[in-house]
Structure 1
Amino acid sequence: MMKPLDPRLLRLSRTARGSVVASAATGLVRTLATIGIAWGIATAVTLGVDAVRDGRVPAATSPTLALLAAAFVVRAVAAWATDDLAARAGATVKSELRATVLARAAERGPSWLAARSSAGFATTLGPGLDALDAYFGRYVPQLALTAVATPVLLVAIGVADMTSALVIVLAMPVIPVFMVLIGLATQALQRKQADALARLGSAFTEAVEGLATLKVFGRARRQVGRIGSVTDEYRRGTIGVLRLSFVSGFALELAASLSVALVAVSIGVRLVDGSMGLGAAMFVLVLAPEAFAPIRQVGADFHAAQDGVEASGAVLDVLDERTAVATARPDAVPAPAAAELVLDGLTVRRPDLVIGPVDLRATPGTVVALAGPSGSGKSSLIAAIRGVLDHDGTVVVPGPAGASRAERTTWADQRPRLVRGTVAENIAMHAEPDDAAVRRALREAGLGVEPGLPVGSGGAGLSGGQAQRVAVARALYRARRVRTPLVLLDEPTSALDAEAERTVVRAVRALADDGSVVVVASHRPAVLAAADVRVDVLPGGAVTVTTRQGVRA
C-alpha cells in the first residue's frame, strides 16, 4: 500500500519538508477563516430573523457582515498562498531530485547505469518527475490541511453542539475505509501505467537514436506501428485510471453526503422540538460539510498525484542512502602520493567472465597496451583502473598526495561522446578553450579542422574518424593542461586509417616521453608495436604481461 507521504522524500529534500510545514500553516489560517465564516453566516441569519420579528435592523448587523467579508478575504488569500507555495515547492523539489539522482548516478559510475534502461531512466527523470506538480500542488497541501483542519473543526462543532460532533466522529471513518479500498485497487493499476510510460519513452528514444540506421535498411516506417501500439497501451491505461478516479470520487462524495445528511436530520429534529437554537444549528450546518471536505478531497487528490508518487518512488529507490554508501566510487577519494602505476592482483568479475588477475608496475614514460579481441575485457580493466568498476586487488595511480584518482587521470572512451557546440568546446570540456593548446591537440591528433567548427549532438557533422580524433585531441589537451600522470585511451584508433593511426601513435609516445603513464586498449598492430609493456587479455579472461624485451612480468 502506498504511503500517504514517503518519509524518504522529506529526508532528502529540505524544500519538501518546508512545503509540508507551509501547507500546514496556511491550512490552519484557512480553517480559522472557515470557522469565522460559519460564525458570520450563523450570526447574520439570526440577526435577519430578529430583524423580521422586531421590524428593525439590529446594530450588530454591519459589524457582523464586515467580519464575514473579512473572513472570506482571509480564506481566499490563504488558499492562494497555499497554491503558490505548493507550485514553487513542486518545481524546486523536482530540480533537487533531478540534481541529486544525476549526482548519485555519476558517483555509481557507468557499470551501474549500464544495468538500467537509459531511456527509462530519462523518462523517469523527465515526464515522470513532472507529475510531482500534482503531488505538491494538490495532494501535499490537502494532506496538511486535512491533518490540521479536521480536528480543529471537530472541536469547533463540539463546542456548539456535542451531539453533532459525535455523529460526525462516528460517520467519518467510513471515508478512510473507502480510501483504503480504492487505494488498493489503484496501486497496481497506477504502477502498470508508470511502466507503460517508461516503455513508451524507451520505444521513442530508441527509434530516434537508431533512425539513421533504420532508414538505411528501409525499416523506419515499421517503428510507427511499434510506437503506435505502445501509445495505445498507455492511452487505454490512462482511460482506466480516469474511470477508476471518477468512480472513487463518486463513492467518496456519496459517503460524505450521507454523513452530512445524518447531521442535518439530527439538527432539524432538535430545531423542531426547541432543544437547539437557530444560531448553533446554522453554525453546525455550515461547518459539517467543511469537516468532511478535507478528508474527502485528499482522497480525490491522491488519484491525481499517483503518477508523481510512482515517479518519486522510483527516484527515491535510486537515492536510497544505504545503497549509496555501499556503492560510493573510489575515484573521488583523495589518495597518498605515488610515483608509478601499480596493479596488484587486479581482477574484474563480470557475470559472464572473470578477467585477471593483473600484476603490473609501470613507471612514468611507459606505454602499456591492453591487447585482446573485442569483448575480452579491455574496457573493463580500464574502468577498474579509473575506479568506476568494482574489482578485486589493488590499483595505485601515480600522482601527488591529496589528489583523487579522477584528478590524476585523463581518459578517452572508445565512443567519442561529443556534444553540441564547437570542436574547441568539445576539446576543452566546460572550460574556456585555449586556442593555441586546442590547435596543438588537433595537430597532434592529425585532425585538420578549425577549432570553431560547429558540431552537432553525438558528433553530427563529423565523420566517425574525425569524431574519434576529436576525442583523442580532448585527451591530449587535458593531459597537457592538467599534467595528469596517467592517461587511459580506449581504442583510440579503431576508426582511423593507417596514416591517421601513425599520427595518433606518435602523440601517445610523446605523452609518455613527457612523463605520463599511458595505457592504451587496442587490437591494432601499430599501437601494440609502440608499447613498452603488453597486457594480453585472452578470451577466457586469463591475462599475460610481457615487456618489450620479451620478459614476462
Structure 2
Amino acid sequence: MKPFDPRLLRYARAARGVLIIGAGLGLLRTCAVLAWAWCLAQAVTAAALPVMDGIPGVRGRIDEGAFDTGQLPWLMLGALVAVCVRSIAGWGMDAVAARGAVRVKAQLRAAALDALDARSPQRDDGPGDAELATSLGRGLDALDGYFSGYIPQLLLTGVATPILILAVLLADPLSGLIVVVVFPIIPVFMILIGLATQAVQDRQWEQLQRLSSSFLDVVAGLATLRIFGRQGRQVARITRETDEYRSRTMSVLRVTFLSGFVLDLAGTFSIALVAVTVGTRLVSGEFPLGLGLFVLLLLPETFVPIRQVGAAFHASTEGLAAASRVFAIIEAADSRPNGAASSEGGGARDARRSADGRQPGLSFDAVSVARGGRRVVGPVSFDVAPGEMVAMSGPSGAGKSTLVAVLLGFVEPIRGRIIAPGALAWSGQRPGLLHGSIAENVALGSDEPDRALARRALDAVGLEHLDLGLELGVAGAGVSGGQAQRIAVARALYRAWRLDCGALVLDEPSSALDSSSEALVCAALRAEADAGRAVLVVSHREAVHRAADRVVRIDASHPEPSIAGVDA
C-alpha cells in the first residue's frame, strides 16, 4: 500500500490541483511558522532580559542579537500576524483537500463506471456485484479521510519539514545535527508499522467484501429462504460475518494506536535531546537566549507533520485499499473482453455496407469461441441474408447465446470472421427493464424518445392496452413476465426502426409467452424480414421455427451446424 499512488493523478485530474494548491499553501504556512517562532522568541527575550540583568551570574552571549523593550509591541504584532496567516493557510489546505476529495471521488467513480460499461457483459472474471458496490460506494467515500486528513499532512511533510530542519541547522548546527540523526528513525518506524497495517487492513477489507456478498445473497434469496424456513441460519451466518469484521476492525485500530505511540515517542525523544543541549548552553552563557528559544519553538513544528501524517495514513487506509481496487477495475478495461486470445489466431467482426449502400445480412464464417482455454463452440458457418428470417436452435449449452454474444461484440472469437450491418437491434433472454415509464423502457438509449414510434412497437407485439406513461418499478416490477418479454421485443423493434438497422437479433423472445402472444411476436419478426432486414432468432419454440425461412441447428457434440429449410 503506497503512501501516495501516482495513478490518482492519471485517473483523477482534480488530484493535481489539490497537490499544487496545497503545496503553495503549505509553503505559505511554513513561512508563517518561521516568522511566528522568530518574533515570539525575540519578544520573550526582549521582555526577559531586563529581569535577568538583576540576576547574579547571568553573562556571556545571553543577550546577543536581542531587541530592546521598545520593539516588543512590533514583535508581538508580527507574531500575531504570523499566527493569523498560518491559520488561514491551514484552513485553506483543509478546504482545498475537502473539495478536491469530492471531485476526485466523482472522477474515479465515473472512470470506473465507464470501464464497467465498456467491458463485456459476458465477462466472467473480475469483482462481483457486491464487491463493486462496496468499492465504488463506501470504499471511495473513505477517501474523504485520505484527502482531508492525510494529503495536507503529506504536503506539509514534503514542503515544511525540509525547510524547518534547514532553519534549525542554520540557527544551531548542533541541534540541527541531532534532528538530522534522529529524524530518519521515524520514517523507518512508519514503514515497518505500515507493512503491518497493510496486512490487517487487507484482511479487514476482504471480510467486508464477504459480509457484503453474504448480505446480497440473503436479500436475493429471501423469498426462497422463507419458503423453506432457512432464514434463521442466514441470520446466524451474517451475525458471524459481522463479528469477524468487528474483530478485524479492532485489529486495525490497535495497529493505529501503536503507530501513534511510536511516532510520538521518537519525536519526543528528539525534542528532549535538543532541549537538554540548548538548556545546558544557555545556563553556561554559551548560547543567545533569542536563538535558543527560536530553536525550541521550531522543533515541535518540525516533527508535527510527520507524526500527524503517520496517524492520518492509518486512518485513511480503507480508502486507499478501495482506491487500489477501483484502479484495477479501470485498468482492466484495456484487456480483451474474454481473454480468449490463443495461438490459433484471432477472430474479427466486420460492420459494413455493400457497394450500393445497402446493409448486408449476417455471416458467420468458421467462428470458434473458447473460454478458459477450452473451445466451447465452433467452428460455425451460416448466413442470414437481408429479407430472411433464420431460427437458431440446439440443446442448452451448445453455444447459441455465445454466438449471439460474438455477433454483438461482447465476446471475441478465437478464429473465424463475422460480417454484420453497421447497426443492429438486439433483445436478450432477460428483458432488462428499468425503473421508469413504459415509453422510457421501449426507447431506452434514445436521447429524444419518439412516443409515436414506441406506441407502434408496443402495438406490433400485442401490447395495445399498455399506457406509455405507466411507471414500472425496479427491474420492471408492475408487469407480468410475458409482458416484460414483449416490451423487450418492442424495444428491439423501436431501435431497428429508429436507427434503420440492417439486422434484428433476438435470444429466446417467446420463452415466457402463450401461443397467441407468441404468434403476434412471430408475425412482427416475419414482417421485419419481409421489410428487408436480416432477422436471427435463437429459440426452441416450434412456432418460431415455422415462422422462419430456415432453422440452423447447432449440436453440442458436433459444433458444425446443420441447416433445415422450413416453409415460412
Mark yes or no: TM-score above 0.5: yes
Q: 1:332 to 1:136 in 2, by over 3 A?
A: farther
Q: Which amino acid aligns with 1:19?
A: V
Distance 1:129 1:541 in 2: 49
Q: 1:17 to 1:272 in 2, by over 3 A?
A: same
User: Do 1:105 and 1:113's aligned partners in 2 also have CA atoms closer than 8 Å?
Assistant: no
Give the structure 2 partner of residue 443 of structure 1.
459
SS of aligned partner of 2:425 = strand
Matches within 5 A, 1:200-211: 200-211=211-222
User: Deviation per CA, 1:28-53, whole angstroms, max 9, x where unpaired?
Assistant: 11111111111121011012113546
Distance 1:328 1:202 in 2: 24
From 434, 441, 448, the counterpart of 2:450? 434
Please say if 1:489 is aligned against 2:506: yes
Q: 1:240 to 1:202 in 2, by over 3 A?
A: same
Q: 1:543 to 1:317 in 2, by over 3 A?
A: same
User: Deviation per CA, 1:457-481, whole angstroms, max 9, x where unpaired?
Assistant: 1111222112111111111111111
From 432, 439, 457, the counterpart of 1:417? 432
Distance 2:380 2:151 in 1: 55
From 376, 393, 398, the counterpart of 2:421? 398
User: Deviation per CA, 1:372-397, whole angstroms, max 9, x where unpaired?
Assistant: 22332211111100011121211111
Distance 2:493 2:240 in 1: 48
User: Deviation per CA, 1:427-476, whole angstroms, max 9, x where unpaired?
Assistant: 11154432222221111122232111111111112221121111111111
Distance 2:116 2:81 in 1: 52
Question: Can you give the 5+ residue segments of structure 1 that lack an aligned partner in the other structure?
Answer: 400-407
Please say if 1:527 is aligned against 2:549: no
Root mean square deviation of aligned Cα:
2.3
Distance 2:232 2:123 in 1: 33
User: Deviation per CA, 1:88-121, whole angstroms, max 9, x where unpaired?
Assistant: 1111111111111111122221123665311112
Distance 1:274 1:115 in 2: 70
Please say if 1:34 is aligned against 2:33: yes
User: Do 1:28 and 1:149's aligned partners in 2 also have CA atoms closer than 8 Å?
Assistant: yes
User: Do 2:384 and 2:536's aligned partners in 1 also have CA atoms closer than 8 Å?
Assistant: no
From 452, 473, 493, the counterpart of 1:476? 493
User: Do 1:422 and 1:453's aligned partners in 2 also have CA atoms closer than 8 Å?
Assistant: yes
Distance 2:496 2:41 in 1: 80
Give the structure 1 partner of residue 321 of structure 2.
310
User: Do 1:83 and 1:137's aligned partners in 2 also have CA atoms closer than 8 Å?
Assistant: yes
Give the structure 2 partner of residue 504 of structure 1.
521
User: Do 1:157 and 1:164's aligned partners in 2 also have CA atoms closer than 8 Å?
Assistant: yes
Q: 1:35 to 1:175 in 2, by over 3 A?
A: same
The Cα shift of 1:76 comes to 0.9
% same residue: 48
Give the structure 2 partner of residue 457 of structure 1.
474
The Cα shift of 1:11 comes to 2.0
Matches within 5 A, 1:16-35: 16-35=15-34
Please say if 1:360 is aligned against 2:382: yes
Give the structure 2 partner of residue 179 of structure 1.
190
Q: 1:8 to 1:430 in 2, by over 3 A?
A: same
User: Do 1:419 and 1:426's aligned partners in 2 also have CA atoms closer than 8 Å?
Assistant: yes
Distance 1:361 1:259 in 2: 81
Distance 1:319 1:114 in 2: 14
Q: 1:483 to 1:363 in 2, by over 3 A?
A: same
Distance 2:262 2:107 in 1: 37
Q: 1:171 to 1:397 in 2, by over 3 A?
A: same
User: Do 1:362 and 1:517's aligned partners in 2 also have CA atoms closer than 8 Å?
Assistant: yes
Deviates more, 1:311-320 or 1:111-120: 111-120
Question: Where is the helix percentage greater, Structure 1 or Structure 2?
Answer: 1
User: Do 2:347 and 2:416's aligned partners in 1 also have CA atoms closer than 8 Å?
Assistant: no
The Cα shift of 1:488 comes to 1.5
Q: Which amino acid aligns with 1:500?
A: S
Distance 1:503 1:144 in 2: 68
Q: Which amino acid aligns with 2:467?
A: E
User: Do 1:357 and 1:543's aligned partners in 2 also have CA atoms closer than 8 Å?
Assistant: yes
Number of positions where the alignment pairs a residue of Structure 1 with one of Structure 2: 539
**TM-score normalised by the chain length of structure 2:** 0.90
Give the structure 2 partner of residue 402 of structure 1.
none
Q: 1:160 to 1:116 in 2, by over 3 A?
A: closer
Please say if 1:298 is aligned against 2:309: yes
The Cα shift of 1:489 comes to 0.9
Q: Which amino acid aligns with 1:281?
A: G
User: Do 2:546 and 2:566's aligned partners in 1 also have CA atoms closer than 8 Å?
Assistant: no
User: Do 1:398 and 1:486's aligned partners in 2 also have CA atoms closer than 8 Å?
Assistant: yes
Give the structure 2 partner of residue 404 of structure 1.
none
From 143, 147, 150, the counterpart of 1:139? 150
The Cα shift of 1:18 comes to 2.1
From 102, 106, 111, the counterpart of 2:122? 111
Give the structure 2 partner of residue 345 of structure 1.
366
SS of aligned partner of 1:112 = coil
User: Deviation per CA, 1:383-429, whole angstroms, max 9, x where unpaired?
Assistant: 10001112121111123xxxxxxxx0211111111111111111111
Distance 2:412 2:133 in 1: 25
SS of aligned partner of 1:233 = helix
Deviates more, 1:509-518 or 1:271-280: 509-518
Q: Which amino acid aligns with 2:364?
A: L
The Cα shift of 1:214 comes to 2.9
Q: Which amino acid aligns with 1:142?
A: Q
The Cα shift of 1:312 comes to 0.8
Q: 1:479 to 1:128 in 2, by over 3 A?
A: same
Distance 1:414 1:207 in 2: 25
SS of aligned partner of 2:123 = helix
Distance 2:35 2:124 in 1: 56
Question: Can you give the 5+ residue segments of structure 2 that lack an aligned partner in the other structure?
Answer: 55-66, 339-345, 355-359
Please say if 1:122 is aligned against 2:143: no
The Cα shift of 1:81 comes to 0.9
Distance 2:261 2:349 in 1: 57
Q: Which amino acid aligns with 1:10?
A: L
Matches within 5 A, 1:63-74: 63-74=74-85
The Cα shift of 1:547 comes to 4.8
From 281, 287, 293, the counterpart of 1:276? 287
The Cα shift of 1:335 comes to 4.6
The Cα shift of 1:54 comes to 7.9
Matches within 5 A, 1:214-293: 214-293=225-304
Give the structure 1 partner of residue 61 of structure 2.
none
SS of aligned partner of 2:69 = coil
SS of aligned partner of 1:357 = strand
Give the structure 2 partner of residue 513 of structure 1.
530
Q: Which amino acid aligns with 2:285?
A: G
User: Deviation per CA, 1:177-203, whole angstroms, max 9, x where unpaired?
Assistant: 111110111111111111111112212
User: Do 1:47 and 1:61's aligned partners in 2 also have CA atoms closer than 8 Å?
Assistant: yes
Give the structure 1 partner of residue 47 of structure 2.
48
User: Deviation per CA, 1:116-141, whole angstroms, max 9, x where unpaired?
Assistant: 31111221111111111111111122
Distance 1:117 1:373 in 2: 29
User: Do 1:119 and 1:206's aligned partners in 2 also have CA atoms closer than 8 Å?
Assistant: no
SS of aligned partner of 2:418 = strand
Distance 2:557 2:138 in 1: 43
User: Do 2:348 and 2:412's aligned partners in 1 also have CA atoms closer than 8 Å?
Assistant: no
Distance 1:265 1:224 in 2: 61
Deviates more, 1:106-115 or 1:79-88: 106-115
Give the structure 2 partner of residue 13 of structure 1.
12
Deviates more, 1:219-228 or 1:147-156: 219-228
Distance 1:417 1:269 in 2: 80
Distance 1:547 1:202 in 2: 46
